[in-house]
């Protein structure tokens, strides 16, 4: 496989998008369950926060899929994922039974964050909306 083909960054963007798009859609259709889950973390203004998170996930997913403003979206989603990772996957504060699962989610999110930083740095590739130039 030729790794400098324009399909490679597109496939990477699509794969990264999957977790955010499905999570955002889940927030739309399971609003009350998400409010209940977030309340376990004693966060303020949960409905407002949840709406903001939903917009970040859905709008960010649209940007990653299309490549339109993908660098900005990836950077915002990096910080969003950082906050979610620390608040919701803090395995060091979990019970012994939950710690292993939370640590797995924590590590998975670190990998996603790395991909988002790479995208924020290098851009969406040639197959992206709003792309300028021919290089």
Write the Ramachandran bin of 126: left for phi over 0, alpha for psi from -120 to 50, otherwise beta.
alpha
The whole-model pTM stands at: 0.91
pLDDT tens for residues 101-111? 999 999 999 99
For 72, residues 6+ apart whose C-beta sits below 8 A from its C-beta are: 63, 120
Instruction: Summarize the confidence of residues 114-132 as an average pLDDT.
Output: 93
Q: What is the average pLDDT value for the chain, to the nearest integer?
A: 94
Residue 115: pLDDT over 80: yes
Report pLDDT for 135: 44
């Amino acid at each position: 496989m030729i790794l400098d083909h324009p399909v490679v960054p597109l496939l990477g963007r699509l794969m990264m998008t999957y977790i955010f798009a499905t999570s955002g859609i889940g927030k739309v259709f399971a609003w009350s369950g998400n409010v209940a889950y977030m309340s376990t973390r004693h966060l303020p203004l949960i409905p407002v926060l949840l709406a903001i998170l939903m917009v970040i996930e859905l709008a960010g997913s649209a940007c990653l899929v299309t490549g339109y403003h993908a660098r900005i979206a990836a950077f915002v989603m990096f910080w969003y994922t950082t906050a979610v990772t620390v608040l919701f996957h803090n395995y060091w504060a979990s019970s012994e039974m939950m710690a292993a699962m939370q640590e797995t989610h924590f590590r998975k999110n670190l990998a996603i964050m790395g991909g988002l930083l790479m995208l924020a740095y290098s851009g969406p590739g040639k197959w992206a909306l709003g792309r300028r130039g021919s290089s």
